[in-house]
Amino acid sequence: MTSTQTTFTPETLEQQLLQESALLRGHFRLSSGLHSDTYVQCARFLRRPELAAPAAAELARQIREAGLQPDVVVGPAMGGVVIGYELARQLGVPGIFTERDAEGQMTLRRGFTISPGERVVIAEDVVTTGKSTNEVARVLEAAGGKVLAVASLIDRTGGQASLSFPNFALLPVTAATYAPDDCPLCRAGLPVVKPGSRPE
């Protein structure tokens, strides 16, 4: 069988993440500020085009199957840039990205624009709380875009992200999260690692 639809499964992705040392266990500080025993470093997975392409193809299939027809894919920097580009390629639409300006505000730069009424899918590597995704959505909606959905490799929320649009994800990852002042990993004296792209 060669069809992506019949061969790509969440188990496939999980095994690939493990093989690429992209699924990490330990003590991590997430972009949200919460602490966790699990971190997914999708950059290690997405560096491999032969892995990224089938994953994006499966997301594209799910989006089409849901009857959604985006005009553009937006992948927020940094984590969404590679998967956003590949998803855009699979969907046959342009792929652009948002990024933070000097004041730390998410914005469209580099001449990228969203036209009023343009239909957008946001591409993420990981949806952790939905906070960053909603931040991107606000930027796009302020420009007049219509956010159809977010598509990601990983959903750490168990489908509980507070989003006003559909959330397509290839793999749910169950991870314990703790407030920094009530973290058993901190109490155990385990060093905390901040592996993401956001500054401290």
pLDDT of residue 3: 41
Question: What rounded mean pLDDT belongs to the chain?
Answer: 90
How far is the C-alpha of 107 from the C-alpha of 100, rounded, in Å?
Answer: 6
pLDDT for residue 31: 77
| pLDDT at position 199 over 60 | no
Structure tokens at 108: 């469209």
Burial 118-134, CB ≥16 within 10 A → b, else e:
bbbbbbbbbbbbbebbb
Apex 109 CA angle, 107 and 112, nearest 5:
110
Domains and CATH numbers, the chain: 4-187 (3.40.50.2020)
Q: What is the largest CA-CA distance in the chain?
A: 52
**pLDDT at 176 (0 to 100):** 86
What pLDDT digit, counting tens, does each position of 160-184 carry? 778 889 999 999 888 888 999 999 9
Tens-digit pLDDT profile for residues 109-159: 999 999 999 999 999 999 888 888 999 999 999 999 999 999 999 998 877
Query: HSE on the CB side for 39, CA within 13 Å?
Result: 21
pLDDT score for 198: 52
* Distances in whole angstroms, Cα of residue 12 to Cα of each of 6, 55, 123: 11, 10, 20
Which of 18-27, 83-92, 188-197: highest mean pLDDT?
A: 83-92
Report the predicted TM-score, pTM, of the whole model to 2 decimal places. Answer: 0.84
Give the whole-angstrom CA distance, residue 200 versus residue 188.
Answer: 22
Q: What is the CA radius of gyration of the chain?
A: 17
